[in-house]
């Protein structure tokens, strides 16, 4: 497998893919490793994961550099991602012991009722490239803490990072056969689906997530799907600090080049503040500079997958043909790398692909709305349901709007953020199940109800 730098098109490394027999052998060894691991104490597991947390900091420079080289994100964003991953790991270190402890729920006469949580066994973690550390730790850290083994398939676009994760977990004390990387693309992923694993946890596109759900359905094992989004944001008419709001929304749209599951993908603005908001939005967008992601003076790096450029061009062409106007950007940046101008489109509507398909790139459509009812209708007019945001100085109004939007995450006066204390749970085509929060720890266990008559 060739690992290419998307910002230059140059070859970084060639790495052999894991063959089907090797994947099977990894599973066989993982089964044995898991039966020993589930007997270890929580203190021992926590110690290993704390070591991993510390190693991410110790090796930060190398890890951030390799992440930037293989996915094209600005070096400061790679550093932010590592800090964010460590923050999530601290949450799991803090919460796992109490969440996984036996829970005596009721004593009734001579009967004691207790809930305990057993590990699932060996799980597959099929992962994405856009935040490989963040979306990875959401799964493999609580899975390991709960007593599972993990066959971890990093995305083929984040293989170097996947191998760093495997190496650092082993250096941290996690047994070699308990956590192993399966290297490759769709084919390696499909091999995992054929094997008798005890759970499938996937982060990626709706298309692949659905295919995985269909293929493993007959196994009747837990699946977790963290999929895409077409996340809406509504600016109400009471917002007075429109420059500040536009600045925050621009960041929500274009951070990581829009390649975030929770990136803002549609903006609705109340007609009363529309003109001023658009003026600021344009200025803020034009201020973003794209270039060499290892150079800290650029805010925008390269897209990770060069093939995404033609997808973005097609969305723009479709929108312009149907009447949209380009407010800023609109085209790829010439050169060897996969660079694209941060692009804002106005006069858009829901007949255009840019308002319906996940763009997963630096493109945003902005639409004027006459009132909250119209905004709510449009926000819900989507197959996805990951996040939704409202900017307003009236908390009650913002909350009542969001209560009517079908999304797993609701933001008031913020967007494009994740907290480890809250569940990350997509609705509709955005996914199934939850990661993070205590729910995202229990997701890697099966419950047992104890009826103990003394
Ligand atoms: P993708 O679906 O192309 O690939 C994801 C993973 O699935 C990769 O490891 C890939 O090799 C593997 N895969 C591909 N085909 C497979 C098959 N047939 N069988 C088994 N495995 C297969 O997604 P991507 O491009 O890596 O990630 C981008 C998508 O992920 C976006 O839609 C984004 O919104 C979503 N995402 C969601 C979240 C979330 O938390 N909801 C987080 C990050 C990314």
**Tens digits of residue pLDDT in 157-179:** 999 999 999 999 999 999 999 99
227: CA distance to ligand 1 center in Å? Answer: 7
Verify whether ligand 1 is closer than 6 Å to residue 184 (CB atom): no
Determine the angle formed by the axes of helices 60-71 and 75-100, rounding to 10 degrees: 110
Is-contact 368 345, C-beta < 8 A? no
Mean pLDDT, the chain, integer: 98
Q: Report which DSSP code applies to 108.
A: E
* Nearest CA owner, ligand 1 atom 42: 261
| Count of H-run helices and E-run strands, the chain | 14, 22
Confidence category of residue 335, pLDDT binned at 50, 70, 90? confident
Residue 265's pLDDT is: 98
Residue 37's pLDDT is: 98
Confidence category of residue 4, pLDDT binned at 50, 70, 90? very high
Q: Strands of 200-203's sheet, edge to edge?
A: 179-181, 149-153, 122-126, 200-203, 223-226, 431-432
Verify whether ligand 1 is closer than 6 Å to residue 305 (CB atom): no
403: CA distance to ligand 1 center in Å? Answer: 29
Write down the residue that tokens 């963040």 correspond to.
134
* Nearest CA owner, ligand 1 atom 39: 226
Is-contact 388 231, C-beta < 8 A? yes
Q: Report which DSSP code applies to 218.
A: G
Within 8 A by CB and 6+ apart from 402, the residues are: 388, 390, 410, 411, 412
Confidence category of residue 38, pLDDT binned at 50, 70, 90? very high
- Alpha carbon 259 to chain centroid distance? 9
**In ligand 1, which atom is closest to the CA atom of 228?**
34
Whole-angstrom distance, CA of residue 117 vs CA of residue 147:
10
Q: Which residue intervals of the chain bear CATH 3.40.605.10?
A: 2-227+430-453
Q: Say yes or no to pLDDT of 301 above 90.
A: yes
**Angle at alpha carbon of residue 212, lines to 123 and 209, rounded to 5°:** 105
Q: Say yes or no to pLDDT of 454 above 90.
A: no
7: CA distance to ligand 1 center in Å? Answer: 21
Phi first, then psi: what are they for 28, rounded to 5°? -60, -40
- Compute the average pLDDT of residues 256-263: 97
288: CA distance to ligand 1 center in Å? Answer: 28
Verify whether ligand 1 is closer than 6 Å to residue 179 (CB atom): no
What are the residue numbers of the active site?
A: 226, 261
Does the model's pTM come out above 0.75? yes
- Compute the average pLDDT of residues 215-228: 98
Exposure pattern of 13-51 as b/e (b: 16+ CB <10 Å)?
Answer: eebebbebebbeebbebbbebbeebeeeeeeebbebbeb
- Compute the average pLDDT of residues 117-144: 98
Residue 11's pLDDT is: 98
* Nearest CA owner, ligand 1 atom 27: 204
Verify whether ligand 1 is closer than 6 Å to residue 205 (CB atom): yes
Residue 240's pLDDT is: 87
| Distance set, CA 282 to CA 76, 100, 267, 277, 329 (Å) | 24, 49, 13, 9, 9
Whole-angstrom distance, CA of residue 445 vs CA of residue 454:
27
Give the architecture (CATH level 2) of 231-412: 3-Layer(aba) Sandwich (3.40)
Whole-angstrom distance, CA of residue 133 vs CA of residue 162:
8
- Compute the average pLDDT of residues 179-205: 98
Share of the chain above pLDDT 70, in %: 100
Confidence category of residue 361, pLDDT binned at 50, 70, 90? very high
Q: Which residue intervals of the chain bear CATH 3.40.309.10?
A: 231-412
Q: Say yes or no to pLDDT of 101 above 90.
A: yes
SS3 274: helix
Let me know if 283 is exposed, middle or buried by CB neighbors in 10 A (0-12, 13-18, 19+).
Answer: middle
Q: Say yes or no to pLDDT of 267 above 90.
A: yes
Verify whether ligand 1 is closer than 6 Å to residue 401 (CB atom): no
| Distance set, CA 43 to CA 81, 94, 146, 395, 444 (Å) | 27, 12, 12, 42, 18
- Mutation to probe ligand 1, out of 128, 419, 425 (largest number of atoms < 8 A from CB): 128
127: CA distance to ligand 1 center in Å? Answer: 6
Rg for the chain (alpha carbons), in Å? Answer: 23
Verify whether ligand 1 is closer than 6 Å to residue 152 (CB atom): no
* Nearest CA owner, ligand 1 atom 21: 189
Verify whether ligand 1 is closer than 6 Å to residue 426 (CB atom): yes
Taking only the tens place, the pLDDT of each residue in 375-395 is 999 999 999 999 999 999 999
Helices (H), 111-241: 132-145, 159-171, 186-194, 206-216
Whole-angstrom distance, CA of residue 375 vs CA of residue 273:
14
Among 403, 299, 312, 309, which residue's Cα sits nearest to residue 365? 312
**In ligand 1, which atom is closest to the CA atom of 192?**
20
- Mutation to probe ligand 1, out of 156, 204, 435 (largest number of atoms < 8 A from CB): 204
Is-contact 278 94, C-beta < 8 A? no
**In ligand 1, which atom is closest to the CA atom of 226?**
41
Verify whether ligand 1 is closer than 6 Å to residue 125 (CB atom): no
Q: Say yes or no to pLDDT of 262 above 90.
A: yes
Is-contact 18 183, C-beta < 8 A? yes
- Compute the average pLDDT of residues 358-376: 98
Verify whether ligand 1 is closer than 6 Å to residue 134 (CB atom): no
Residue 42's pLDDT is: 98
Taking only the tens place, the pLDDT of each residue in 273-284 is 999 999 999 999
Give the architecture (CATH level 2) of 2-227+430-453: 3-Layer(aba) Sandwich (3.40)
Verify whether ligand 1 is closer than 6 Å to residue 208 (CB atom): yes
Within 8 A by CB and 6+ apart from 207, the residues are: none
Is-contact 265 229, C-beta < 8 A? yes
Residue 255's pLDDT is: 98
């Amino acid at each position: 497998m060739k690992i290419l730098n998307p910002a230059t098109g140059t070859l970084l490394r060639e790495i052999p893919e894991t063959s089907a027999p090797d994947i099977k052998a990894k599973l066989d060894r993982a089964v044995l490793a898991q039966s020993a691991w589930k007997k270890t104490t929580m203190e021992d597991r926590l110690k290993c994961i704390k070591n991993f947390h510390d190693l991410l900091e110790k090796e930060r420079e190398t890890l951030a550099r390799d992440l930037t080289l293989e996915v094209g994100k600005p070096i400061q964003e790679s550093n932010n991602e590592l800090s964010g991953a460590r923050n999530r790991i601290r949450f799991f270190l803090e919460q796992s012991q109490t969440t996984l402890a036996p829970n005596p729920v009721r004593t009734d006469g001579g009967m004691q009722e207790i809930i305990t949580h057993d590990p699932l066994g060996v799980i597959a973690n099929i992962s994405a490239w856009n935040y490989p550390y963040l979306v990875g730790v959401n799964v493999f850290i609580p899975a390991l803490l709960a007593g599972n083994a993990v066959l971890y398939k990093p995305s083929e676009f984040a293989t170097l990072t996947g191998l760093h994760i495997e190496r650092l977990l082993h250096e941290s004390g996690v047994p070699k056969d308990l956590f192993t990387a399966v290297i490759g693309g769709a084919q390696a992923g499909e091999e995992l689906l054929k094997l008798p694993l005890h759970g499938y946890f996937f982060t990626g596109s709706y298309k692949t997530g659905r295919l995985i759900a269909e293929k493993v359905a007959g196994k009747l094992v837990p699946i977790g799907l963290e999929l895409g989004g077409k996340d809406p944001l509504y600016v109400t008419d009471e917002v007075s600090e429109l420059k500040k709001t536009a600045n925050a929304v621009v960041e929500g749209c274009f951070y990581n080049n829009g390649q975030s599951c929770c990136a803002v993908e549609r903006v609705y603005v109340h007609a009363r503040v529309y003109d001023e908001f658009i003026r600021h939005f344009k200025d803020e967008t034009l201020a973003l500079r794209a270039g060499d992601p290892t150079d800290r003076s650029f805010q925008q790096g390269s897209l990770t997958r060069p093939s995404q450029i033609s997808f973005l061009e097609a969305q723009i062409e479709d929108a312009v043909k149907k009447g949209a106007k380009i407010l800023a950007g609109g085209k790829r940046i010439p050169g060897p790398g996969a660079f694209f101008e941060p692009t804002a489109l106005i006069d858009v509507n829901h007949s255009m692909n840019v308002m319906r398909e996940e763009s997963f790139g630096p493109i945003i459509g902005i639409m004027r709305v006459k009132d909250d009812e119209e905004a709510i209708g449009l926000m819900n007019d989507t197959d996805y349901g990951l996040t939704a945001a409202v900017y307003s100085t009236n908390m009650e109004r913002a909350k009542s709007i969001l209560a009517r939007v079908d999304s797993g995450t609701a933001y008031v006066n913020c967007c494009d953020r994740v907290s480890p204390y809250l569940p990350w749970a997509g609705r509709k085509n955005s996914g199934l199940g939850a990661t993070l929060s205590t729910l995202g720890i229990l997701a890697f266990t099966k419950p047992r109800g104890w009826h103990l008559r003394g």
